[in-house]
A and B are shown apart, each in its own frame.
Chain A
Amino acid sequence: LAKTTQPISMDSYEGQEVNITCSHNNIATNDYITWYQQFPSQGPRFIIQGYKTKVTNEVASLFIPADRKSSTLSLPRVSLSDTAVYYCLVGDSTGGFKTIFGAGTRLFVKA
């Protein structure tokens, strides 16, 4: 299972773009990269998932370079409500895709 490394915390201001990078040097060929968001007193919520290049949805973008050893979650124009913990996970679907959450990145958005 590929281990992930993320910054422990990040600060930003409302309206800014936030980029959170995750390192996963041992990613396997079958592995996908998934990001979750967790607010206090709630369970994690799926944000975005990708395999390579760029994926975009209504919430975020995910950039994955060609070597796939890292990935960057991009949150455009953050607001105070984006203050949360963001988790990067790497895993595949074979054998029931085991899920390992790291400590995540605590994002603080200030007014």
Chain B
Amino acid sequence: EAGVAQSPRYKIIEKRQSVAFWCNPISGHATLYWYQQILGQGPKLLIQFQNNGVVDDSQLPKDRFSAERLKGVDSTLKIQPAKLEDSAVYLCASSSRTSGYNEQFFGPGTRLTVL
């Protein structure tokens, strides 16, 4: 079974630029998550989708971050404009009810550096 795919793996941009991350979840997983993980901290949930609907985006900085999940499969997370404090690893995860409560499968992440 293929895992969660993310691209790019690394991205370096200057502040005020825009950036987008892509995630392809495990086939058949209805729930998709985006996390931000700053160095030395645990992952912080940014947004959670159930199919193509948003379940929780309470911690998403909506003035600069946006995310979509068209057709309930792939998802894109965008930052516009980026700030220095956005430097972090952005993790995508997916889950399904058949995989157990809270069992999320994570991708390798995208490491973003904002200069």
Q: Mark A30-72, 1 if CB is under 8 A from B, else 0.
A: 0010100000011111100100000000000000000000000
Which DSSP category, helix, strand, loop or mixed, fits chain A's interface?
Answer: loop
A97 at the interface (CB under 8 A from B): yes
Contact (Cβ within 8 A) B45 A46: no
Q: Decide if A29 is an interface residue (CB 8 Å cutoff).
A: no
Given A44-B43, A101-B44, A104-B42, A96 and B55 contact (CB-CB distance below 8 Å): yes
Are B101 and A97 neighbours in the complex by a CB distance under 8 Å? yes
Q: Identify which of A32, A100, A101 contacts B101 (C-beta below 8 A).
A: A32
Measured CA separation A101–B76 after assembly (Å): 22
Q: Give every chain A residue within 8 A of B56 (Cβ-Cβ).
A: 96, 98
Q: Does A15 contact B (CB under 8 A)?
A: no
Are B42 and A93 in contact (CB-based, < 8 A)? Answer: no
- Bound-complex Cα distance A33 to B33 (A): 19
CB distance from B71 to the nearest CB of A (A): 19
Which of A43, A92, A95 has most B Cβ within 10 Å? A43
Chain B 83-115 interface 0/1 with A at a Cβ cutoff of 8 Å (1 = within): 000000001010001001111111111000000
Q: How large is the interface on A (under 10, 10 to 19, 20 to 34, 35 or more residues)?
A: 20 to 34
**Given known A34-B103, A43-B109, A89-B102, contact A102–B42 (CB-CB < 8 A):** yes
Q: Are A34 and B42 closer than 8 Å at their CB atoms?
A: no
- Shortest B88–chain A CB gap in Å is 13
Residues of chain B lying within 8 A (CB to CB) of residue A44: 43, 91, 93, 104, 106
Tell me which residues across on chain B come within 8 A of A80, comparing CB atoms: none
Q: Is the CB of B104 within 8 A of A99?
A: yes
Question: Known contacts A44-B43, A45-B106; is A99 also within 8 Å of B101 by CB?
Answer: no
16 contacts between A and B (CB under 8 A): A42-B108, A43-B108, A44-B93, A46-B104, A85-B42, A93-B97, A93-B101, A93-B102, A95-B55, A98-B56, A99-B33, A99-B45, A99-B48, A99-B102, A99-B104, A100-B45
Chain B positions near chain A (C-beta within 8 angstroms): 4, 31, 33, 35, 40-45, 48, 50, 55-56, 91, 93, 97, 100-109
